[in-house]
Amino acid sequence: MNVVGKRVYAHKKEIVRLQKKRLRATLKYVYSNSRFYRRIFREYGVDIDEIKSAEDLKNLPLTTKQDLRDSYPLEMACVPKEKIVRIQMSGGTTGRPVIIPYTRKDVNQWKEMMLRAFMLASIDSHDVIQITPAFGLWNGGFGFHFAADAIDALVIPIGAGNTRNQIRFMVDFSTTVLCATASYPLRIAEVAEEMGVDVGNLSVKKMLLGAEPWSDEMRRKIESVYGARAYDIPGLTEMGGVGTIGFECPERNGLHIWEDNYIVEVVDPETGEVVEDGEEGELVYTSINREAMPLIRYRSGEVSAVVSREECDCGIEHMTIKRIRGRTDDMVIYKGVKFYPSDIEQILFSHGIVNYKIEVGNGIKVIFEGEESIVDRIGRDIKEFAGFKPRLEAVPAGTLERFEGKAKRLVRV
């Protein structure tokens, strides 16, 4: 077993030992080298020597995206600019950018985490890997590229957009691995049909999909159309990028968090208090193996829950969390009912609906491309599952906007 494999399949005792060691070292490191954390720890009266394990983190203050904005460009960095080899920017931000710096060690750590994902998805040097996320300040495509290059696979770093070219390359180069946002394979399939290409006949057998919440129903649809196996790859720029925090194993019962590199807590998004395992809340990350800008108790906005801290059937002993259900800022409260776009998506996909939009304003309206005849059935299913009945509108195929990146399903009007 290679070094990556040994770290993935380490025993729990070794994972916890390394986690404690790295946590203590990271807290001392940020206190000594980050003006931000030195100031915050002093303001809150934090004695870092009292923080010895993941369970003690609850005694530390939370770090927010606003903290990162206020620290622009590099106030939270722990290294001088001369040691920084690249920067990335967190997606979806407005106003002052959220900049994440990397040292060479951080880039290598990102690569190693991605190699773990490749190993679990059985991706090797014989694969042809097509990378469709963007290459730019948003970190989308780079992590895939670092790992693919490291295993000497044939890489097609095509980046975002130009779906017809994407399909042409998939055909001409016999792409076996597709890296994409979760909704993009369905857009590719739609355009391929217009081109007279059956995506079921392509060579694609593995997909690494992420960047947006996606339901099990969407996964089943993608896999049935392509005849491929789709893996959920989470990622957060603030933690280093796509693929750094964890991955699905072949059992696909949730996301394994790489606890030797990250500590994950689940907190009540309103109170910030840690919730019990199994209870849904906001994910809070602490990076314990990064150099340029480790973050302590960073509020991600992602919604999930701890599934298990025991050994998985696959043999991995890192903790397992649910796949990301949504983001706290995407949650909709309507007549006392809380829901996320992914909750509606799984119902629509069960009725064969692929393209849809949820409008939130004067009530809830779901617009979908499909037949009028199924409106009542969809309405009943949403009422039964989510506890409310939205207004539903069926529109002809091709009516709704298409996306080549993250799909914008929720619109507040």
CB distance 131 to 149 below 8 Å: no
To 10 degrees, the CA torsion angle through 39, 41, 45, 48?
-140
- The structural domains of the chain, with segments of one domain joined by +, span 1-327, 331-412
What's the CA gap between 247 and 231, in Å, rounded?
8
| Owner of token pair 């998805």 | 121
For 331-412, CATH number out of 3.40.190.10, 3.40.50.2300, 3.30.300.30, 3.40.640.10 equals 3.30.300.30
Q: Provide the pLDDT for residue 275.
A: 97
What's the CA gap between 70 and 177, in Å, rounded?
39
Here the contacts of 195-199 (C-beta below 8 Å, separation 24 or greater) are 195/164, 195/167, 197/167, 197/171, 199/225, 199/226
Any idea what DSSP says for residue 288?
S
Other Cβ atoms within 10 Å of 287 Cβ, number: 25
Q: Provide the pLDDT for residue 306.
A: 98
Q: 1-327 and 331-412 share one CATH topology?
A: no
Other Cβ atoms within 10 Å of 8 Cβ, number: 24
Cα–Cα distance list, 242 to 91, 165, 218 (Å):
12, 24, 20
Q: Which pLDDT tens digit goes with each residue over 127-149?
A: 999 999 999 998 789 999 999 99
Q: Provide the pLDDT for residue 1.
A: 65
Name the pLDDT band for 388 (thresholds 50, 70, 90): confident
Q: Could you give the percent of the chain with pLDDT greater than 90?
A: 82
Give the predicted TM-score (pTM) of the model. 0.91
Any idea what DSSP says for residue 253?
S
Average pLDDT rounded to a whole number, residues 41-67:
95
Closest-CA residue to 323 (of 340, 338, 310): 340
Query: Alpha helix (H) ranges present in 75-215?
Result: 104-120, 142-150, 163-172, 184-194
Kindly tell me if the per-residue pLDDT of 165 is higher than 50.
yes
What's the CA gap between 354 and 369, in Å, rounded?
8
Average pLDDT rounded to a whole number, residues 324-330:
89
Q: Provide the pLDDT for residue 93.
A: 44
CA angle at 231 for the pair 197 and 100, rounded to the nearest 5°? 110
β-pairing verdict for 86-89 and 99-102? antiparallel
Q: Which pLDDT tens digit goes with each residue over 13-50?
A: 999 999 999 999 999 999 999 999 999 999 999 999 99
Name the pLDDT band for 94 (thresholds 50, 70, 90): low
Other Cβ atoms within 10 Å of 333 Cβ, number: 9
Q: Decide if domain 1-327 falls under CATH 3.40.50.12780.
A: yes
What mean pLDDT, rounded, does the chain reach?
Answer: 94
Kindly tell me if the per-residue pLDDT of 350 is higher than 50.
yes
Kindly tell me if the per-residue pLDDT of 92 is higher than 60.
no
Q: Which pLDDT tens digit goes with each residue over 290-318?
A: 999 999 999 999 999 999 999 999 999 99
Closest-CA residue to 42 (of 64, 69, 62, 61): 61
Reduced to 3 DSSP states, what percent helix, strand and coil does the chain have, rounded to the nearest 5?
A: 35, 25, 40
Kindly tell me if the per-residue pLDDT of 91 is higher than 80.
no
Average pLDDT rounded to a whole number, residues 232-257:
95
